[in-house]
Amino acid sequence: MTETIVKLADLVKPAAVAAPFVLSDEERHEIEHELSHYPDSRAASIEALKIVQKHRGWVSDEAIPVIAAAINISAADLEGVATFYNLIFRRPVGRHVIKVCDSISCHLTGYEELRDGLIEHLGVRLGGTTPDNRFTLLPICCLGACDRGATLMIDDDLHGPVEPAQIKALLEAYP
Amino acid sequence: MSLRSAADPHYQRPLTRLIDRAAGPLDLPGFEAENGYSSLKKSVREYTPQQIQAIVKDANLRGRGGAGFPAGVKWSLVPMGPDAGEKYLVCNADEMEPGTFKDRLLMEQAPHQLIEAMILVGYAIQATRGYIFLRGEYIVAADRLNKALAEARAAGYVGKNVLGSEWSFELFVHTGAGRYICGEETALINSLEGRRANPRAKPPFPQIAGLWGRPTVVNNVETLMNVPHIVLNGADWFKGLSQGKSKDAGTKMYGCSGRANKTGTWELPIGTTARELLEVHAGGMRDGKKLKAWLPGGASTDFLLPEHLDLAMDFDTIAKAGSRMGTGLIAVVAEDQSMVSAVRNLEEFFARESCGWCTPCRDGLPWSVKILRAFEAGQGQAEDLDVLAKLTKWLGPGKTFCAHAPGAMEPLQSALKYFRHEFEAGLAKPAKAA
Ligand SMILES: Cc1cc2nc3c(=O)[nH]c(=O)nc-3n(C[C@H](O)[C@H](O)[C@H](O)COP(=O)(O)O)c2cc1C
Ligand code: SF4
Ligand code: FES
């Protein structure tokens, strides 16, 4: 069976440089816009995390207290939210994130072959990032495109059905 | 002639009739030219909120998110009157039930229909605000909904004094960040408040105390999108859409995935048989293979057999056969595919997506995965067949904090019932005597 387990030690490695984290004006502006959508600022926590991630690729530990202050909740509360949702990345990811659907309809239409093909082509396990920092490979639950299984998303783009033989050509579009 | 009238014989597919995938979704002028927003106008100008609730109750519109709860009854629990204060309408657009791909199509191709529906239902319960809770991966849908919403706002359909009435309504698209459990309506409310998506205890039901403690209605995309058509054409028209195939009313977004020839999603009279879905619309199984089993409506429904194909796909008929219609999009397993492996895949999904709040689910699901992996590898232990059977009870209805774990047990218990021989084939072979 394919190794899917991420080692704990990998998860707790400290970030390389601990420069003080500052929100950019653009990030601040976008977070303030989200705050206007809710009567309670806490409700903007997921959007705020997503905004920072959009600009930086992931959400570092240093970012948490700063984002929490911007939406006026405790850092501990925001940390709890940031660790709950799988689309919030707490470690750096590659330039492109591949999310391969591992749910039942894709299981029935070739998920395991597709996953193994990706692992072989990229040389990383699920959860891993290629050494050139180009791709991160993640499993994802049903992408709501089951009629096109086996499916995957690369960044914001949905693809399906994808056969293992098509992987090489498909990935070439993501330099 | 307006297509959007009860007299029009083509108006049998209210949800999809304006959908043209090649052309893409209609913008506001295009939608209005097809009578779009006329139902909202009629509602606000001619009907009281209570009258709309009564029409929808009479139409017997049952929830399309999986449980089939009558929408009109759900709304009738919402406190009404001038002192009711802040109230919320939330659209459940989290669509993460494996095997389900209907709301994506509706939102990507008919965003204005959902916006109109949200405003209209907002009016019917006199909500002050609405949120569309959209799963984070639906990038195209988010973009198109936001565009449609901006057009609707500019036209005065959303905002202060909707269409010049006394009633004001704000509407927002909220996008999620993953986790299947967000689809459970009370977990969704926690998530929308910016918390971890653990479900809440019921009662109180959201209609009494939901989002920020205020009365809240949560409805599925497809449920909501039926409402403007019901108000425009009447309850009897809606009941007639099922063409006598079911005592349920309306159409249903059905679909088929797995190894079938023409997988897809289709709007058909509710009560259409699964055989018609598979053999007519999906063009039968691929490569001439035989059907072994099928899930009627998502990962959390019991498997059925080929002998059940002639059943009407409606809530009560599929329940009588020991399963649930769920979301109504079937997933088919071919004769040469392993049930043990399919169930292992399903339970891996449920184990990963458990929110971790209660012990039977958090610990029981990984236990089932461990056992299923052993059976798949030919290392199963006879006692573990009993453990699996017991787990279906220990994680069954009433034993856990929400319906996630009981849902997870449905495919497992039915696979054990119908395909025990496949599990037995995965028992470890006794070591040969020396
Ligand atoms: C674990 C779990 C996941 C669910 N996921 C969804 C979902 O993705 N979309 C949905 O509409 N309903 C989902 N539901 C059902 C909702 O809790 C709720 O019943 C539904 O949104 C009500 O809308 P309706 O009455 O219009 O069907 C889920 C329920 C459970 C227990
Ligand atoms: S049944 Fe599972 S998903 Fe539901 S509350 Fe318990 S742990 Fe969470
Ligand atoms: S199961 Fe893969 S897209 Fe639905």
The mean of the pLDDT values for chain A is 93
Residue B200, sorted as left (phi over 0), alpha (psi -120 to 50) or beta, turns out to be beta
A20-54 confidence digits (pLDDT tens) = 999 999 999 999 999 999 999 999 999 999 999 99
B59 and B191 belong to one structural domain: yes
At B322-371, the pLDDT tens digits run 999 999 999 999 999 999 999 999 999 999 999 999 999 999 999 999 99
Q: What was the ipTM of the complex prediction?
A: 0.95
| Residue B24 binned pLDDT confidence (cut-offs 50, 70, 90) | very high
A19 vs A5, which has greater pLDDT?
A19
Which residue among B194, B263, B352 places its CB closest to the CB of A45? B194
Question: In this structure, are B139 and B206 located in the same domain?
Answer: yes
CATH of the domain at B347: 1.20.1440.230
Among B332, B356, B391, identify where a domain stops.
B332
For residue B359, report the distance from its CA to the centre of ligand 2, in Å.
Answer: 8
Omega within 30 of 0 (cis) for the link into B406: no
Q: Out of A2-16, A161-175, B410-424, which region has the weakest mean confidence (pLDDT)?
A: A2-16
Interface membership of A161 toward B (CB under 8 Å)? no
For the stretch A131-167, pLDDT in tens is: 999 999 999 999 999 999 999 999 999 999 999 999 9
B85 and B178 both lie in a single domain? yes
> Given an 8 Å threshold on Cβ–Cβ distance, is B341 in contact with A108?
no
Nearest ligand for residue B226 CA? 1
Q: Is the CB of B319 under 6 A from ligand 1?
A: no
For residues B307 and B347, state if they share a domain: no
Nearest residue of A to residue B282, measured between CA atoms: A147
Claim to verify: residue B279 and residue B346 sit in the same structural domain: no
Asked if residue A18 has pLDDT above 80, the reply is no
Q: Is the CB of B184 under 6 A from ligand 1?
A: yes
Write out the two tokens for A148. Answer: 């096109």
| Cα four-point dihedral sign B120, B154, B214, B82 | negative
Please give the residue that has the higher pLDDT: either B82 or B307: B307
- Residue A17's pLDDT is 57
Q: Quote the minimal CA–CA distance from A71 to chain B in Å.
A: 11
* Alpha-carbon distances, residue B66 vs A138, A156, B44, B189, B314 (angstroms): 28, 28, 30, 18, 11
Question: Stretch B109-136: mean pLDDT, rounded?
Answer: 98
Beta-sheet strands, E only, within B21-143: 88-93, 129-134
Chain A neighbors of B197, CB-CB under 8 A: 84-85
* Residue B262 maps to a domain: yes
- Backbone torsions φ then ψ of B102, nearest 5 degrees: -105, -40
Which whole number is the average pLDDT over B106-134? 98
Helix, coil or strand: residue B265: strand
Q: How far apart are CA B206 and CA B131, in angstroms?
A: 14
Give me the pLDDT at residue B8, please.
61
> Is some CB atom of chain B closer than 8 A to the CB atom of A125?
no
Q: Which domain holds residue B159?
A: 9-240
The minimum CA-CA distance between B428 and chain A, rounded to whole Å, is 17
Among B206, B240, B274, the domain boundary falls at B240
How far, CA to CA in Å, does A43 sit from each of A169, B162, B352? 41, 25, 25
Predicted confidence (pLDDT) at residue A8 exceeds the cutoff of 80:
no
What pLDDT is recorded for position A5? 60
State residue B6's pLDDT score.
Answer: 47
Whether the pLDDT of residue A1 is over 70: the answer is no
CATH topology of domain A96-172: Glutaredoxin (3.40.30)
Q: Which residues of B touch A142 (CB under 8 A)?
A: 96-100, 299
The residue to which tokens 């030690």 are assigned: A9
Q: Which of B86, B191, B195 should we substitute to test contact with A (largest number of A Cβ atoms within 10 Å)?
A: B195
**Phi/psi at B294 (nearest 5 deg)?**
-150, 145
B263 Cβ under 8 Å from any chain A Cβ: yes
How far is B354 from B339, CA to CA, in rounded Å?
22
pLDDT at B431: 74
- CA angle centred on A152, ends B144 and B181, rounded to 5°: 70
Q: What is the dihedral of CA B58, B64, B66, B69, to 10 degrees?
A: -20
Q: CA of A145: which chain B residue's CA is closest?
A: B101
Q: Do residues B413 and B275 share a domain?
A: no
Looking at residue B432, the DSSP 8-state letter turns out to be P
Give which of B96, B101, B262 to mutate to test A binding, by max A Cβ within 10 Å: B101
Tens of pLDDT, residues B225-277? 999 999 999 999 999 999 999 999 999 999 999 999 999 999 999 999 999 99
Per the domain annotation, does B1 fall within a domain? no
pLDDT band at A19 (very low <50, low <70, confident <90, very high): confident
Query: How big is chain A, counted in residues?
Result: 175
The one-letter amino acid code at B263 reads: T
For residue A13, the model assigns a pLDDT of 60
Half-sphere exposure of A41 (CA within 13 A, CB side): 12
Could you tell me the two tokens for A40?
A: 């309670």
Q: What is the pLDDT averaged over residues B379-389?
A: 97
- Among B185, B177, B238, CA closest to B207: B185
Q: Chain A 40-79, CB below 8 Å of chain B: which residues?
A: 40, 42-47, 49-50, 71, 73, 77
The Å distance, Cα B414 to ligand 2 centre, comes to 21
- Mean of all residue pLDDT scores within chain B: 96
Tokens of residue B375, six digits = 């059976």
Closest CA to B285 of B262, B302, B312: B262
Domain identity same for B169 and B312:
no
Q: Is residue B93 over pLDDT 70?
A: yes
The answer to whether residues B188 and B174 touch, using CB atoms and an 8 Å cutoff, is: no
Ligand nearest to the CA of B210: 1
- C-alpha angle with apex A141: B419 to B286, nearest 5 degrees? 50
Confidence of residue B11 (pLDDT cuts 50, 70, 90): confident
For chain B, how many structural domains are there in total? 3
To the nearest whole Å, the CA of B301 is away from the closest chain A CA by 12
Q: How many CB pairs under 8 A join A and B?
A: 141
CATH number of this structure's domain A25-84: 1.10.10
Assess whether B107 and B192 both reside in one domain: yes
Q: Are residues B196 and B265 in the same domain?
A: no
Do B276 and B419 lie in one domain? The reply is no
Model pLDDT, residue B23: 93
Structural domain ending residue among the three candidates B332, B353, B370: B332
Tell me, letter by letter, the H, E, C secondary structure of chain A.
Answer: CCCCCCCHHHHHCCCCCCCCCCCCHHHHHHHHHHHCCCCCHHHHHHHHHHHHHHHHCCCCCCHHHHHHHHCCCCHHHHHHHHHHCCCCCCCCCCCEEEEEECCHHHHHCCHHHHHHHHHHHHCCCCCCECCCCCEEEEEECCCCCHHHCCCEEECCEEECCCCHHHHHHHHHCCC
Which ligand is closest to the CA of B263, given by its number? 3
Is any Cβ of chain B less than 8 angstroms from the Cβ of A93? no
pLDDT in tens, A54-69: 999 999 999 999 999 9
B256–A contact, CB cutoff 8 A: yes
Q: How confident is the model at residue A12 (pLDDT cuts 50, 70, 90)?
A: low
Q: Which positions ≥6 away from B139 have C-beta within 8 Å? A: A156
Closest CA–CA distance from residue B45 to any residue of chain A (Å): 28
Residue ranges of chain A assigned to CATH 3.40.30.10: 96-172
Mean pLDDT on A89-118 = 98
Q: Give the per-residue pLDDT at B232.
A: 95
A35 touches chain B (CB under 8 A): no
Residue B434 located in a structural domain: no
* Predicted pLDDT at B296: 98
Cβ distance B342 to A80 less than 8 Å, yes or no, reads no
Q: Looking at residues B102-130, what average pLDDT do you find? A: 98
Please tell me whether residues B279 and B419 are part of one structural domain: no
Phi first, then psi, for residue A87 (nearest 5°) are -90, 0
* B432 within some domain: no
Q: State what percent of residues in chain B have pLDDT above 70.
A: 97
Do B148 and B67 lie in one domain? The reply is yes
